[in-house]
Amino acid sequence: MDTSAFNSVWWIFALPVFGFLWQCLAGKIVIDNLGDKLGKRIMGASAVLPIAAAFFIAVDLTGKLHSMPAESRSVVLTLFDWINIQSLHVPFEFRVDALSMMMVLIITGIGSLIHLYATGYMAEEKDYPRFFTYLNLFVAAMLVLVLGNNLVLTFIGWEGVGLCSYLLIGFWYKDVANSKAANKAFIVNRIGDFGFTIGMFLLIAQVTLDRNIIGITDPRWLSFDVLLPHADVLFKINPEITTMAALALFVGAMGKSAQFPLYLWLPDAMAGPTPVSALIHAATMVTSGVFLLNRMSPVFAAAPQAGAVIAIIGAATSLLGALIAFGQTDIKKVLAFSTVSQLGYMFIGCGVGAYWAGMFHVTTHAFFKALLFLGAGAVIHAMAHDQDMRNYGGLWKFLKITGATMLVGWAAIAGFPYLSGFFSKEEILGAAVNSDTVLHLGGYMWSTGQVAGWIGFVVAFLTAAYMTRMTLLTFFSGEGRWKTIAAGHGHDHDHEHGHHDAHAHAHHHEDPHGFFYSDAEMHARAVAEPHEHHHALDSHHVPKEVPPSMWMPLAVLAVLSLVGGAWLKYGVNLEHWLYPGAEAAEHAERVSHPMLLGISFTVFLAGVGFGFWKYAKGLPADEGWDLSLWKRWRTSAGRQFGIDAALTDGSLKGGAMLGAFLAGIDKWLIDGVVNASGRVAELAGGLLSRTQRGYVRGYALLMQAGVVALIFYVIYQLSHLGAGN
């Protein structure tokens, strides 16, 4: 097949790479020579442009793909031979198909909007080019992840986005809390990546063992276009191993996509700048787990048990995230837990076999969650970098554009009928409650798919409620509460202290060290130069609408959140577009479509109604500043029900205990044996050296004794053996 029409896919990858190189090599020079304002404008534009150009190329490629017959909509392009050993070739190859292009469109499209937003949001930042260096590199790595045509390339992208996520969470690294959040994200992801590699090697082992049975002769057998067509036969030879491999890959997805119990890095990741939260920790990177499940769907299809586990873990995650969101007062934290919750939805979809529905929700979620995060960023920007919703209220009067667009986002995520979130959620929950996904465990069959679906409806109610809470507390619910703050000192911020963006703006001085500070150093610095609260929130603050570079992306995303779902469902026919071969098998329709619609409407109305009832009048006293008035469950939700602390402390203390135990073994047993053998040797040497007393007569005596011994030995041998021959 002539693939030259698709050669421009290399540009999609190359443009962000060039952008990355340009930012990191030329950024400082440009800004130093052209001045802060012009330099930043140039660097900002040159950060947005490559991503936007890549987006248009991707649109073009998708159009070409669309014009091809459905069964041949998959093009593989090879750049160079990367790994070439005896019977295995792993080329550096990209795959252009519906799934990868869909992700590419999300990454470059929403990515360029967020880049544009960030040029405004980060305008005061001193390390401007460093931010865009990381951001462009992230886009490049994410593109490798989704475009790679084999698991090895996917893994490169997987690690690349993990690295960029780490770098961006810790972007304001002078604040130790941010560095610790970055470390946490990186370390928790390590667990997931370990699962990914194990899954990958289990698959490789299966292929190498059974390759001849299947008859794969192509040495590129790690490539998807060679491997996956054989999947339904190959992975049914050893179903147990396939299930293990699928679960191991899912562990990888759990790490990246923040599923319980590996979700706990994502809330902390909000320490990064808000555009990062929108792009990486809402729209793209955290959905790469869902992408992986879609990409490897033949493997997961061959492992229905793994699917049942995935569905129930997804449901648990979504429920947990929604509950915890009620206990949060930091607007970004609410959105973070909402992301955790929505990611759970996506995994419910994948778990019950509706992979396309998972991808559908990835897309719509990218629209409305990016919108909400960017909107939250705009609010934070307008509110002097205060993130506590208890200080907001009545912002609608000041922030019309932000408020309007965020209202669209709220409606979309809450499940307002016929907005984007509504459709994708509907598809997932419909597939789940009608699914026959069962888990065989302990001799029973657990219909985890249906349970997950019903949990999903509960979560839909909760989502509508907590999103209404957030929206009302921010934009409505009476007059602005920040006006009650006495000038000069804010409310007693009793939790989530060091995570505020505001901290970064106190650091406008040179960084003499270049990187990390120890706790002691940080303390010393804090003493030496106290935090300048040069624009802290106080009663005289007047919120101002954000500049166009920031609200324009909001507007675009709002439009997408409004109509994107309907367009993808009816305009594109996403299910057919993604999985043309497998038309939706007609379910037994135990729960009919109209009934589902009815339930959805009901839970939406109930959730929103509850929210209005509770929050329309203003900040309720039982979740205000006085924490002692909080209900126990809400306090507990605020602390993530202690899961984070338990897991973190447990692993730290457990690790320390294990380390101490092993150190003890090392010290007492191994060192003991080693040292004892040394002692024994020395002791023996000491005793033996006693025989050496320096007297010639002694030496001669020993010689004589030796001779006598030899003579006796010879006499014994002679008498014993006789003449041997």
Partner 1 sequence: MNYTIPTVDWSLVLPFALVALTGIVALIIETAHPKRDNGLIIGVSLTGLAATFVLLLTQLVLPPARTFGNMVLRDQFSVLLQLICVAATAVCFMFSDGYLREKKIAFGEFYPLTLWALSGAMVMVSTDNLLMLFVGLEILSIALYCLAGMSRSEARSEESALKYFLLGAFASAFLLYGIAFLFGASGSMSLPDIQKAVTGLTRDTLPMPVFGVMLVLVGLGFKASLVPFHQWTPDVYQGAPTNVTAFMAAVSKVAAFGALARVLVAAAPLHQYWFEALYWIAIATMCIGNLVALVQKDVKRALGYSSIAHAGYLLVALLAYTRDPDKVSLGTTVFYLIGYAAMTVGAFAVVSLAAKGDRDGSRYQDLHGLYRRAPFATVMLVLFLSSLIGIPPTVGFFGKQLIFLDALRTGLVPLAIVLAVNSAVSAYYYLQIMVAAFVSEEGAARPVSRKPGAGMTIGVCVCAAGVIFASLLGGYVQETTRTAALQAKPVPGRVQNQMEVINR
209 vs 711 by CB, closer to partner 1: 711
d(CA 241, CA 247): 10
Q: Which residues are within 8 A (CB) of 226 and not within 5 positions of it... i.e. 6 or more apart?
A: 216, 218, 220
Name the 3-class secondary structure at 328: coil
Number of residues that bind partner 1 (CB under 8 A): 31
Give the DSSP H/E element, type plus range, for residue 679: helix 671-690
Nearest to 132 by CA among 54, 32, 25, 57: 25
Task: Candidates 81-89, 353-361, 464-472, 690-698: pick the segment binding partner 1 (CB under 8 A).
Answer: 690-698
Task: Candidates 274-282, 415-423, 601-609, 698-706: pick the segment binding partner 1 (CB under 8 A).
Answer: 698-706
Q: How far is the CB of 704 from partner 1 (least distance, A)?
A: 8
Q: How far is the CB of 348 from partner 1 (least distance, A)?
A: 59
d(CA 135, CA 148): 20
Q: Does 673 bind partner 1 (CB under 8 A)?
A: no
511 vs 671 by CB, closer to partner 1: 671
d(CA 510, CA 49): 29
668 vs 713 by CB, closer to partner 1: 713
Q: Does 711 bind partner 1 (CB under 8 A)?
A: yes
494 vs 671 by CB, closer to partner 1: 671
Q: Which residues are within 8 A (CB) of 320 and not within 5 positions of it... i.e. 6 or more apart?
A: 260, 263, 340, 341, 344, 641, 643
38 vs 703 by CB, closer to partner 1: 703
233 vs 708 by CB, closer to partner 1: 708
How many Å is the maximal CA-CA distance in the chain? 120
Query: Which residues inside 114-133 make contact with partner 1, applying CB under 8 A?
Result: none
Residue reference for tokens 């106190």: 506
56 vs 713 by CB, closer to partner 1: 713
Q: Does 705 bind partner 1 (CB under 8 A)?
A: yes
Q: Does 703 bind partner 1 (CB under 8 A)?
A: yes
540 vs 690 by CB, closer to partner 1: 690
Q: Does 524 bind partner 1 (CB under 8 A)?
A: no
Q: How far is the CB of 690 from partner 1 (least distance, A)?
A: 10
Task: Candidates 240-248, 254-262, 398-406, 674-682: pick the segment binding partner 1 (CB under 8 A).
Answer: 674-682
Q: How far is the CB of 683 from partner 1 (least distance, A)?
A: 9
Which burial class, exposed, middle or buried, applies to 349 when counting CB atoms under 10 A from its CB (0-12, 13-18, 19+)?
A: buried
Q: Does 678 bind partner 1 (CB under 8 A)?
A: yes
Task: Candidates 1-9, 366-374, 561-569, 714-722: pick the segment binding partner 1 (CB under 8 A).
Answer: 714-722
629 vs 709 by CB, closer to partner 1: 709
Q: Does 498 bind partner 1 (CB under 8 A)?
A: no
Task: Candidates 39-47, 317-325, 508-516, 705-713: pick the segment binding partner 1 (CB under 8 A).
Answer: 705-713
- The pattern of x and - marking residues 389 through 408 that bind partner 1 according to CB under 8 A reads --------------------
515 vs 695 by CB, closer to partner 1: 695
- Bond from prior residue into 548 cis (ω within 30 degrees of 0): no
Helix, strand and coil content of the chain, in percent to the nearest 5, comes to 75, 5, 25
Q: Does 708 bind partner 1 (CB under 8 A)?
A: no
d(CA 601, CA 596): 9
Task: Candidates 228-236, 477-485, 653-661, 686-694: pick the segment binding partner 1 (CB under 8 A).
Answer: 686-694
Name the 3-class secondary structure at 445: strand
Q: Does 706 bind partner 1 (CB under 8 A)?
A: yes
Q: Does 700 bind partner 1 (CB under 8 A)?
A: yes
d(CA 337, CA 324): 7
Task: Candidates 104-112, 247-255, 328-336, 676-684: pick the segment binding partner 1 (CB under 8 A).
Answer: 676-684
Q: How far is the CB of 695 from partner 1 (least distance, A)?
A: 9
Q: Does 718 bind partner 1 (CB under 8 A)?
A: yes
Nearest to 455 by CA among 235, 197, 260, 663: 260
682 CB neighbour count, 10 Å cutoff: 10
Sign of CA dihedral 328, 333, 336, 340: negative
Q: Does 671 bind partner 1 (CB under 8 A)?
A: no
497 vs 697 by CB, closer to partner 1: 697
Task: Candidates 344-352, 394-402, 501-509, 699-707: pick the segment binding partner 1 (CB under 8 A).
Answer: 699-707
Residue reference for tokens 């491999």: 245
Tally the C-alpha atoms within 13 A of residue 496's C-alpha that lie toward its C-beta.
Answer: 24
Q: Does 674 bind partner 1 (CB under 8 A)?
A: no
69 vs 686 by CB, closer to partner 1: 686
Q: Does 187 bind partner 1 (CB under 8 A)?
A: no
Contact 269, 277 (CB under 8 A): yes
Q: How far is the CB of 672 from partner 1 (least distance, A)?
A: 17
Task: Candidates 106-114, 425-433, 498-506, 715-723: pick the segment binding partner 1 (CB under 8 A).
Answer: 715-723
Contact 641, 648 (CB under 8 A): no
Per the document, the length of the chain is 725
52 CB neighbour count, 10 Å cutoff: 17
Nearest to 108 by CA among 160, 147, 65, 56: 56
DSSP designation for 586: P
Name the 3-class secondary structure at 516: coil
Q: Does 684 bind partner 1 (CB under 8 A)?
A: yes
25 vs 681 by CB, closer to partner 1: 681
Q: Does 714 bind partner 1 (CB under 8 A)?
A: yes
CA distances from 665 to 577, 650, 671, 677 (A): 59, 22, 8, 17
In 67-127, where does DSSP find H-type helix? 98-121
User: Which pairing describes strands 74-85 and 88-97: parallel, antiparallel, or unpaired?
Assistant: antiparallel
Q: How far is the CB of 647 from partner 1 (least distance, A)?
A: 45
Q: Which residues bind partner 1 (CB under 8 A)?
A: 678, 681-682, 684-686, 688-689, 691-692, 694, 696, 698-700, 702-703, 705-707, 710-711, 713-714, 717-718, 721-725
